[in-house]
Amino acid sequence: MNKSELVSAMSERNELTKKDSKAALDSILNAITKRLSEGDPVALSGFGTLTLSYHPAKAGRNPKTGEEIIIEGQNKVLFKPAKAFKDALAD
């Protein structure tokens, strides 16, 4: 499912226009992105928790030339699903 399919599903299920559904989804995604960029975890009850994890720089190798390179450190988003979410998928 991509974003436009999600907007369509939201509008059908909640009797909203696609424009209103897209605005709501964009608002939610912006709020989550802002909180994560500030280093705060985002916990959505019944769904899961999103957190940032810093991965430090490390040495790597260019597969074409074999030359050693440094891979820069970066933040990655981790998702830990809630028990209710995992249980719903198991059914």
Let me know whether 46 and 71 are in one domain.
Answer: yes
- State the residue range of the domain holding 19: 1-39
Find where tokens 């440094």 sit: 70
Let me know whether 28 and 47 are in one domain.
Answer: no
- Can you tell me the distance from the alpha carbon of 70 to that of 50, in angstroms, rounded to the nearest whole number? 28
Let me know whether 45 and 21 are in one domain.
Answer: no
Mean pLDDT of the chain: 95
Q: What angle do CA 15, 81, 25 make, to 5 degrees?
A: 30
Residues 41-83 pLDDT 10s: 999 999 999 999 999 999 999 999 999 999 999 999 999 999 9
Let me know whether 48 and 79 are in one domain.
Answer: yes
Look up the CATH number of the domain holding residue 55: 4.10.520.10
Let me know whether 32 and 49 are in one domain.
Answer: no
